[in-house]
Amino acid sequence: MNILLLGSGGREHALAWKMAASPLTDKLYCAPGNAGIARDAECVALDLADHSAVVAFCRNTGIDFVVVGPEAPLCAGIVDDLESAGIKAFGPTRDAARLEGSKGFTKDLSRANTIPTAAYQRFRAVAPAKAYLRKRGTPIVVKADGLAAGKGVVVAQDLAEAEAAVDMMFSGGLGEAGGEIVIEDFLDGEEASFFALCDGETAIALTTAQDHKRAYDGDKGPNTGGMGAYSPAPNIDATMSGRVMAEIIMPTLRAMKTMGCPYKGVLYAGLMITREGPKLIEYNARFGDPETQVLMLRLMSDLVPALLASRDGMLKSFDLRWYDDPALTVVMAAKGYPGQYARGTVIEGLDDAAKVEGVEIFHAGTKAVGGKILANGGRVLDVSAIGKTVSEARRRAYEAVSRIRWPEGFYRRDIGWRAVERETK
Ligand SMILES: Nc1ncnc2c1ncn2[C@@H]1O[C@H](COP(=O)(O)OP(=O)(O)O)[C@@H](O)[C@H]1O
Ligand SMILES: [Mg+2]
């Protein structure tokens, strides 16, 4: 098959790496890709917002299957546009991607189907939102309804902070995403990311992960797209996984089918594991980044037939095998990220770093110029490793990090601390 992967981050590099290894893949393209992806796929300059350009490329190149990485094109209906042009595509339609594109949609669906989630209300105006805040008390969580690239949620410790979040969102601080908001109760517990592959009717649990969203050690500093991750999540055992499938994932699939928008693709549930059990924080309609980097290291089976079975509605008799060994990834970011940062700085030592046992380096934001690898984004590299234990995977990943010479970059030194603490207890 000729396959086109859409996206340019570390998630897409990990997917490209895994798909390139499939015997089903004749030729792999990636748009727009990056310098690391270029090792596994032919990168093509396409604007993903221009769906007709993507369709035209598929027709001219004889693409058999398109795999969509990021949420923005999914929510903009790229799968609908490809499929109506007769091109098979992996991922949810625009209507199904509302599970990520509208937090209010997912909350309403959860309430209607008794899926465990925090109590909430939706608002379109300041005064009723603030009245609800006062009634509910703190801590409380204020969320923009739409896609906000990780900047749309404020976990407020006091009323002033919560009211400021309401004012910021309704005064256009997050653009259209904040035109409507959700206010929900604070959930106490430990988070985990749960991934299920869906075909509209059936879902198979992939595996789990935990990530680190804050920029600095000790889970301090500003929120980012994710500074590291590891898999599996130590707080999700087989029993808990069964509960998540039965109480959260399957009722969602049934509801989406009943509403006429069956969900196909990866359903990524952000969970809070509370004393009463798993609760849904949010859904994402795609693979996680950087969680995919560790998932792909642990996936033993061929990825391509799994993605095809999701698209074709054939997951019922499908099975995926995973290595038991945990994997961990350390994100290297440009100094200043998630704020202002420089592009174009030189990165050296990558080949030497990649020689560390069990290590795979995925590129998140790089470009190649004149034989040199240059930083080309906020999150730049995902230094990933598999090992017999999280501690071993972590040692390997940091050994590789230490071989990378990039003075303009930074990374957290404590990725995986929760899991390592559990192992060494
Ligand atoms: N109800 C809640 N209780 C406690 N923490 C929450 C709650 N909702 C969100 N959070 C925290 O905020 C983070 C971001 O919220 P989430 O709904 O996942 O939005 P997004 O990923 O789109 O920014 C979560 O990972 C979690 O740490
Ligand atoms: Mg989230």
* Range of weakest confidence among 26-30, 173-177, 308-312, 383-387: 173-177
Q: Cβ of 185: how many Cβ atoms within 10 Å?
A: 15
Q: Cβ of 340: how many Cβ atoms within 10 Å?
A: 9
Q: Relative to the CA of 187, which ligand 1 atom is closest? A: 3
Give the pLDDT of residue 149.
Answer: 85
Closest-CA residue, ligand 1 atom 12, reads: 153
Contact 24, 65 (CB under 8 A): no
Closest-CA residue, ligand 1 atom 21, reads: 150
Give the pLDDT of residue 293.
Answer: 98
Would the pTM count as exceeding 0.85? yes
Which ligand is closest to the CA of 138, given by its number? 1
Q: For 148-184, what is each residue's pLDDT tens digit? A: 988 899 999 999 999 999 999 999 999 999 999 999 9
Q: How far apart are CA 216 and CA 309, in angstroms?
A: 40
Task: Classify residue 277 by burial, with Cβ atoms within 10 Å: 0-12, 13-18, 19+.
Answer: middle
CA of 152 to the centre of ligand 1 (A): 9
Tokens matching residue 418: 């929760």
Q: How far apart are CA 12 and CA 422, in angstroms?
A: 31
Closest-CA residue, ligand 1 atom 19, reads: 153
CA of 282 to the centre of ligand 1 (A): 7
DSSP per residue, 6-19: EE-SHHHHHHHHHH
**What is the average per-residue pLDDT within 367-377?**
96
Give the pLDDT of residue 317.
Answer: 87
Give the pLDDT of residue 89.
Answer: 98
The answer, yes or no, to whether residue 415 has pLDDT greater than 90, is yes
Give the pLDDT of residue 246.
Answer: 98
Q: How far apart are CA 221 and CA 325, in angstroms?
A: 31
The answer, yes or no, to whether residue 33 has pLDDT greater than 90, is yes
pLDDT-derived band at 135 (thresholds 50, 70, 90) equals very high
Contact 285, 75 (CB under 8 A): yes
Lining residues, ligand 1, CB within 6 Å: 118, 141, 143, 150, 152-153, 155, 184, 186-187, 191, 270, 281-282
Q: DSSP 3-state assignment of 305?
A: helix
The answer, yes or no, to whether residue 424 has pLDDT greater than 90, is no
Q: Which helix (H) or strand (E) covers residue 257, if one does?
A: helix 250-258
Tokens matching residue 19: 């798909």
Q: Which helix (H) or strand (E) covers residue 175, if one does?
A: none
Q: How far apart are CA 152 and CA 145, in angstroms?
A: 8
The answer, yes or no, to whether residue 408 has pLDDT greater than 90, is yes
Closest-CA residue, ligand 1 atom 14, reads: 153
Q: For 316-359, what is each residue's pLDDT tens digit? A: 989 999 999 999 999 999 999 999 999 999 999 999 999 999 99
CA 8 from centre of chain: 13
pLDDT-derived band at 13 (thresholds 50, 70, 90) equals very high
CA of 199 to the centre of ligand 1 (A): 26
Contact 328, 401 (CB under 8 A): no
Closest-CA residue, ligand 1 atom 23, reads: 150
**What is the average per-residue pLDDT within 224-236?**
96
**To test ligand 1's pocket by mutation, which of 141, 157, 281 has the most ligand atoms within 8 angstroms of CB?**
281
What's the mean per-residue pLDDT of the chain? 97
Tokens matching residue 76: 């903009």
CA of 270 to the centre of ligand 2 (A): 6
Give the pLDDT of residue 150.
Answer: 82
Give the pLDDT of residue 425.
Answer: 79
